[in-house]
Amino acid sequence: MPPLTALAIANYRSLRDLIVPLATLNVITGPNGSGKSSLYRALRLLADTAQGRVIPSLAREGGLPSTLWAGPERFSRGMLTGEVPVTGTVRNEPVSLKLGFACEDFGYAIDLGLPPLNSETEFGLDPVVKRECIWSGPMPRPSTLLVDRRGAQLRTRDETGEWRTVPQPIASFDSMMTEFADPRGAPEMIAVRERIRSWRFYDHLRTDALAPARLAQVGTHTPVLSDDGGDLAAALQTIYEIGDAAALDAAIGDAFPGARLEIDNPGKRGRFEVMMRQPGLLRPLRAAELSDGTLRYLLLVAALLTPRPPALLVLNEPETSLHPDLLPALGRLIAQAAERSQVIVVSHAARLVASLEREPDSHSIVLEKALGATRIVDADALELPAWKWPAR
């Protein structure tokens, strides 16, 4: 699958208007409060469109009143120079939260706003979909639009390239990605939806004392590690059986010289548990005995060596709980994963960032804040992709 070339966000938290160029291995870094977490969450929201979860996800964040850019619509010259304080202005544009991405073959954008003031609903703060588009190539133009949604109306191209209006209206709180499927009339819709659904995110891997990964679990073939890592033992055994077992052993040896994994399945009853043999010990350590850092590294190994690599793999602060000496090994593992998937790493661990930046295909993006808005450091020196939001 062609990788993402650009990620675009407008009016989401501190991301007032951000266009992020992307490569194969992307490292997003910056000081605390620079907008790294907002960028990660915006990317997750974008993924939620293909799962029918974007509206509930925004609602859990407090709805549009809590997630919209909290600064003025525009900064005056005096505000930018610091000559006058930042103050609110009269709103000229409609309330709008926009998310989008571009690839070499397709692009997608969604524009979320508030329902009309005269709407008879108790869900007046719920965002509604105002515009949603899929286009061919990197930029949306009238001639490149393939699927176009305005409000409840959806239209697609027919065999001759002419517009065809879909008779069934789409609910304002639903994305067209989940409500319309026509393999003949709009195959690009299915292609984009399935591509987004293949994206994988890891930021809630559990290593606490009650983490499921520390206990024996019923296991089946597990080519994809779950979000919390509870099926770690089955995922590692799956790598040993149908994945790259040599790479798995090498990743363990790289981080813990002389150590090796064992997956315990007493009586072959289908209850799997992770065990690790270490030099000098007379018995293997069970997962419940491993340190948080060791267990987290094993979880990341299972995620990165998946036998079913995603189109996009996103890691949010993978360095959490890891000893700094493990970060170079993690960096090498991430670089290996980038040979099979596009990877985005959000991190503020200098040693991990330095390890990744040494990779030939690495692309670093440093974020900072100016007047509360996130921006890319030295953006002028980067080749920022062209982007234009579809108008309402």
Ranking 82-91, 248-257, 322-331 by mean pLDDT, the lowest is 82-91
Element of type H or E holding 80: helix 77-81
More confident residue, 122 or 66: 66
**Mean pLDDT to the nearest integer, 252-271:** 92
Confidence check: pLDDT of 227 > 80 = yes
User: Which pLDDT does position 83 carry in this prediction?
Assistant: 72
pLDDT at 381 over 80: no
Which range, 105-109, 113-117, 385-389, is most confident?
A: 105-109
Axis-axis angle for helices 350-357, 327-337 (nearest 10): 40
Residue 247 confidence class, pLDDT cut points 50, 70, 90: very high
Task: Report pLDDT digits (tens) over 36-51.
Answer: 999 999 999 999 999 9
Confidence of residue 68 (pLDDT cuts 50, 70, 90): very high
In this structure, the strands spanning 163-165 and 153-157 are antiparallel
Kindly report, residue by residue over 284-309, the tens digit of the pLDDT: 999 999 999 999 999 999 999 999 99
Using the structure block, give the residue that is written with the tokens 């060596």: 305
Segment 196-218 mean pLDDT: 94
| Mean pLDDT value across residues 262-282 | 91
Is the CB of residue 224 less than 8 Å from the CB of residue 199? no
Mean pLDDT of 95-106: 94
200 vs 126, higher pLDDT:
200
Q: How far is Cα 40 from Cα 314, in angstroms, rounded to an integer?
A: 8
Of 5-9, 79-83, 294-298, which range is least confident?
A: 79-83
Can you give the pLDDT at residue 121? 78
Mean pLDDT of the region 179-193: 86
- What is the average pLDDT score of the chain? 92
Predicted local distance difference test score (pLDDT) of residue 1: 66
Instruction: Identify which has the larger pLDDT, 77 or 364.
Output: 364
In whole angstroms, what separates CA 279 from the centre of its chain? 38
In this model, does residue 90 exceed pLDDT 70?
Answer: no
Task: Return the half-sphere exposure (C-beta side, CA atoms, 13 A cut-off) of residue 72.
Answer: 13
Predicted TM-score of the model (pTM): 0.93
pLDDT average, residue stretch 62-85: 81
